[in-house]
Structure 1
């Protein structure tokens, strides 16, 4: 499967909105020599003033009357009167330039990290934007009376993401120039899905149709017996079986040492749960999932080594004292015939495509659902479940 589809699997889209709206001032770089200079021009070759670009380009919602709500993240820039945009910080540049001029409905997309010696300035011709719409459905969820929930997606060109779409319901919106693109969609309830499109010159609207995608398994397991923990390479503070934990509320935390939100937020939340509730009432089990060849570790020992600085600086010396199942790294599909983008058998069994994810199991051994402990309402749900003996 293409590399960019895996970006969703690691939960990158969970933080698109927060990155896009973060109030961080760009350090002054006016005196620094730019590592990349581009000049944006229209199809007549005239400079385009006021075109926007940034670290990311995100549609953060859509209204029929008002149109799309845009963000360009940190380091947003605008082209000057000569159409010039200068990039000074290579650490904040991903190799893809996406430029948009809202008033003139012009866009340009160009991957530059593969071009070798770049001219200065690099000329980018902006074309009339094509508004692409793509509707995502799940008949599996519809048949069970469940909502599809938040759908997120991105478009990619030349095997690199160029524009994200978030918070626009089940219809994704993209604004792209002529060319060949791949659209990818995923969400909290659905399996990732992709679609290839071609935009022709002069085309300003493209309906990419409706795609029916499978539901993630945890949405179908609510109220049903929780699948047993399987395909474990090694245990830390274990082993343990879910069948042994009947009579207790169980939280399964799907996480990885490579996942920043997991180790910065997820694991500390579990430490707090352990302090709040007795082991007689609440059992905590970690499901560690390796991710990608560069991030893979082969044992609990290697995982602990990777977490040494985190334990010291983030966890304040606390150790993981609950069982952790170190799962085997496998490339599997979430649904028959689907893309092999899951990284463990447990990810498939529970339908986990974002990290961290916390699944709660009730005292009878049935799946209660997915909770986000940073939400007050979800913490209250867990509290009520634990207290309802």
Structure 2
């Protein structure tokens, strides 16, 4: 099954909790009785990131040994399954999941039936589950999220819970305990100006901003709140991050106490690009609190800065030319400024390929359309499109590529697709055609893809945080989809081709094919 779907499934099906005292072993029947009723998600972690967004409006109902999960990724159909406890081991449970039709997300998109081997811990009204990311994974041995496992926490819903409130109330106090009036409340921080913009000072802005009243409280529309609330008193240099989850918003009340903010600064580096004489390129860094991004900083020189109250956070830098990394940073209570050590990043493979001959694609299992080589395409500009039928943006932008082919195929442009088989279901042209039939009919105006597509497997190589997909995907360092690379008439890699609307893309191709003399 698709990894994204497996993530959603995994996140949706299980419950997870906090770790208090080890509960005494209970008989299976007794445990089943304790789980009866309605549960809400409080945590859903994979690697160092929260996956709560996939189950933001979900409710888990347990009746007998059966469970039903509503609103998985917003789907109307419930995810259903059963909990099978091991009577000989108080920590072991199997999550037997029924097949689920998800065609409302993507045509012909289904979740197959299967079993997730899990471990659990029940602590009063909190239920913790840890399980592998897909059916093929092994049963975890510890309660921890990683590249291989998910950690999920469910809390029992409040008595009388019917639905999530449509409004939330946040009450904010200053460090001395007095109401914090007229302070900013928002959902995400981002800078409007960057240091590259004529030296202008950065100005922090907020998604869905608001203000507290005289009593230090603010009423917020629940639909505007996602995962974290940010509270900031710019006049006094204090702030707070307020974690939000489906379980926490069930009663509609939140409280926050402001603390002294600290300015975090740092720099991203890449020795490989420096040695190649290339700049680090556009980068972005997320500041992550409790698994959820709370702020971002975009830059072209690799520098970044954030504001944060005391606590432990994760920095997640990445860029168009460099890969992603996760680095822990701790803000002490007695600091107002913190200069972070330079963060080294690894160059993406395609960045190091710039100016070099494009390597022939590794691991192609079949071609949909005529087989091509870059050697045979010399003399033409080539757009090399990495995509997948399972990728919404890929499918959405395919009509642009089809039109570019129609306009420029006989004028010196070749388009070559590389379809990544994420779930092992597309290894022949016929299977790809079957997956695309719905798009051709409903979204592509009856047009099929007219240019050749290399079918490559999405086989994973490596383990844990070092895991990546092999073959052509690793060869070109592809980490997001769609990714389009431009190859010049000499067969050398130029870089990314980012135009995704037909007007802009056509204009850029025209300039390439007909440069001004």
Alignment TM-score, normalising by the size of structure 1: 0.77
* Structure exhibiting the larger radius of gyration computed from Cα positions: 2
Q: 1:256–1:138: structure 2 CA closer, same or farther, 3 Å change rule?
A: same
Name the stretch that deviates more: 247-256 or 184-193. Answer: 247-256
Q: Deviations over 1:124-156 (max 9, x none)?
A: 112121111120122222222222121101011
Q: Which digits, 9 at most, give the CA deviation of each residue in 1:195-216, with x for residues without a partner?
A: 1111111321111121222222
The structure 2 residue matched to 1:330, chosen from 459, 471, 484, is 459
Distance 1:5 1:240 in 2: 42
| Aligned mate of 1:289, from 404, 420, 430 | 420
| Match of residue 274, structure 1, among 405, 412, 435 | 405
Structure 1 partner of 2:312? 180
Q: Deviations over 1:26-73 (max 9, x none)?
A: xxxxxx953532212221122223333444322243459864322323
| Cα distance, 1:308 vs structure 2 | 5.5
Q: What's the CA shift for 1:285? A: 1.1
* In 2: Cα distance, 1:50 partner to 1:117 partner: 23
Q: CA RMSD in A?
A: 3.4
Is 1:36 the counterpart of 2:168 in the alignment?
Answer: yes
State the partner residue of 1:71: 205
Distance 1:85 1:256, change over 3 A: farther
- Secondary structure (helix, strand or coil) at the match of 2:304 reads strand
Instruction: Name the SS of the counterpart of 2:356 in structure 1.
Output: coil
Partner of 1:351: 477
SS at 1:289 equivalent? strand
Residues 3-82 of structure 1 mapped to structure 2, 5 A cutoff: 4=49, 34-63=166-195, 67-73=201-207, 75-82=208-215
Offset of residue 114 of structure 1: 6.8
| Distance in structure 2 (CA, Å) of the matches to 1:155 and 1:35 | 27
Distance 1:67 1:363, change over 3 A: closer
CA contact (8 A) 1:297 1:303 kept: no
| Counterpart Cα distance in 2 of 1:358 and 1:117 | 41
- Aligned partner of 1:231 in structure 2 is 363
Structure 1 residue aligned with 2:218, among 85, 95, 99? 85
5+ residue gaps, structure 2, are 1-45, 52-163
For residue 113 of structure 1, report the CA deviation from its aligned partner. Answer: 1.3
Does the 8 A contact of 1:41 with 1:125 survive in 2?
A: yes
* Deviation sequence 1:238-270 (CA, Å, 0-9, x none): 544334433432210122334443333x32321
Q: What SS does the corresponding residue of 2:281 show, helix, strand or coil?
A: coil
In the alignment, which of 331, 335, 352 is matched to residue 203 of structure 1? 335
CA 194–385 in structure 1, closer or farther in 2 if over 3 Å, else same:
same
Tell me which residue corresponds to 2:17.
Answer: none
CA contact (8 A) 1:269 1:373 kept: no
Partner of 2:446: 317
Change (3 A) 1:5 1:327: farther
In 1, the alpha carbon distance for the partners of 2:421 and 2:226 equals 24
Give the Cα–Cα distance (whole angstroms) in 2 for the partners of residues 186 and 284 of structure 1. Answer: 28
Aligned equivalents of 1:71 and 1:274: distance in 2?
41
Shift of 1:172: 1.3
Contact 1:60 1:166 in 2 (8 A): no
C-alpha separation in 2, matches of 1:303 and 1:160: 35
Partners of 2:486 and 2:493 within 8 A in 1: yes
**Whole-angstrom distance in 2 between the partners of 1:332 and 1:5:** 24
Q: Within 2, Cα distance between the matches of 1:270 and 1:340?
A: 33
Moved more, 41-50 or 185-194: 41-50
- Tell me whether 1:190 sits opposite 2:322 in the alignment: yes
Task: Give the deviation of 1:365 after TM superposition.
Answer: 2.2
Structure 1 counterpart of 2:154: none
Structure 1 CA distance for aligned equivalents of residues 382 and 356 of structure 2: 14
Three-state SS of the structure 2 residue aligned to 1:136 is strand
Looking at secondary structure, tell me which structure has more helix per residue: 1
> 2:26: which partner in 1?
none
Q: Are the counterparts in 2 of residues 60 and 165 from structure 1 also a CA contact under 8 Å?
A: no
Between stretches 128-137 and 299-308, larger displacement belongs to 299-308
Higher relative contact order (CA 8 A, sep 6+): 1
Matches of 2:465 and 2:178 in 1, distance apart?
44
Q: Which moved more, 1:106-115 or 1:177-186?
A: 106-115
